């Protein structure tokens, strides 16, 4: 039995099939962890979403910003963007079944020495606090009135955390940190516009995982979202977004021995 983590898929179903063949994934014995952004921008989000749903407990995923965008468009709280490729899901006969399943996926997962989140954790959050905060969002998404959350989720403010935040402002900060953040200040103020590499991080900001004295630093966090960062592996960070949808690579890592598997993608 092995556990593999795979970077952002974004509708690249063909490359996903090639990668699971490469690692010889056996759903009867192995597990896949997916860092989110399952859908959008790539050519076949519908097939990918169906495959992951049908895999049951063999695949565990966390939600990314593109997955939440799909839910928001489906709830008519946002419009399709010009480069979205989610319309086949919205037109599918099993649309409601797929969207219901997606709404019931995790925002954050912790297991043993590892945790997984799409984008990152604010420096003041412990792993146990992150689990509790993610659960608040997950519960809101799973309610019959989830449209209320989806209608209030978008926005860059507040861009920092306070324990006193309440209601939808609180949930927005949690979502933004876990699905959109790349860099923040040492105090945890987030910058959502920066998408560049490590060498060009704006003055006063850090990659979220390099903030001094980050509370969660004793757990190895698996993440994606930051394609300009590329494959980035340290003792306590495994960043796996290698830009498959942009013609980069699709990356998997076997957690038991940290062996990396990659294949080239067609843009």
- Dump pLDDT digits (tens) for 184-237: 999 999 999 999 999 999 999 999 999 999 999 999 999 999 999 999 999 999
Give the tokens for residue 20: 């699971």
- Nearest 10 degrees: CA dihedral of 208, 151, 85, 193? -30
Residue 29: name the closest of 54, 58, 51 by CA. Answer: 58
- Per-residue pLDDT band at 80 (split at 50, 70, 90): confident
Name 193's bridge partners.
none
The mean pLDDT of the chain is 97
Instruction: Domain of residue 143: give its range.
Output: 3-264
Dihedral sign from CA coordinates of 139, 144, 147, 148:
negative
Average pLDDT for 128-136: 98
Number of other CB atoms surrounding residue 84 within 10 Å: 18
| Residue 205 pLDDT | 98
The domain that contains 178 carries what CATH number? Answer: 3.60.21.10
- pTM summary value: 0.97
H or E segment at 132?
Answer: helix 127-142
Count of the separate structural domains present in the chain: 1
Q: Give the H/E segment covering residue 139.
A: helix 127-142
Chain-centre distance for alpha carbon 154:
16
Q: Sort strands 190-191 and 108-111 into parallel, antiparallel or unpaired.
A: unpaired
119/182 Cα distance (integer angstroms): 7
């Amino acid at each position: 039995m092995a556990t593999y983590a795979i970077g952002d898929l974004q509708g690249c179903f063909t490359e996903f099939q090639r990668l699971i063949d490469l690692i010889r994934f056996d759903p009867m014995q192995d597990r896949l962890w997916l860092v989110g952004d399952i859908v959008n921008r790539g050519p076949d989000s519908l097939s990918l979403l169906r495959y992951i749903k049908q895999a049951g407990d063999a695949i565990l995923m966390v939600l990314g910003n593109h997955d939440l965008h799909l839910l928001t468009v489906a709830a008519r709280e946002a419009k399709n963007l010009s480069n979205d490729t989610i319309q086949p899901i919205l037109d599918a006969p099993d649309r409601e079944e797929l969207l219901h399943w997606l709404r019931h996926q995790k925002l954050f997962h912790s297991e043993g020495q590892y945790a997984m989140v799409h984008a990152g954790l604010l420096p003041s959050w412990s792993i146990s606090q992150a689990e509790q905060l993610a659960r608040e969002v997950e519960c809101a998404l799973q309610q019959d009135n989830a449209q209320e959350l989806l209608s209030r989720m978008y926005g860059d403010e507040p861009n920092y955390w306070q324990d006193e935040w309440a209601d939808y402002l609180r949930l927005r900060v949690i979502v933004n940190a876990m699905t959109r953040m790349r860099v923040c200040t040492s105090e945890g103020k987030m910058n959502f516009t920066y998408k560049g590499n490590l060498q060009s991080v704006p003055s006063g900001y850090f990659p979220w995982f390099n903030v001094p004295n980050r509370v969660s630093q004793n757990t190895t966090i698996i993440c994606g979202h930051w394609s300009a960062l590329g494959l980035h592996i340290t003792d306590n960070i495994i960043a796996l977004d290698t830009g498959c949808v942009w013609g980069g690579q699709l990356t998997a890592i076997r957690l038991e021995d940290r062996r990396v598997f990659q294949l080239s993608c067609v843009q």
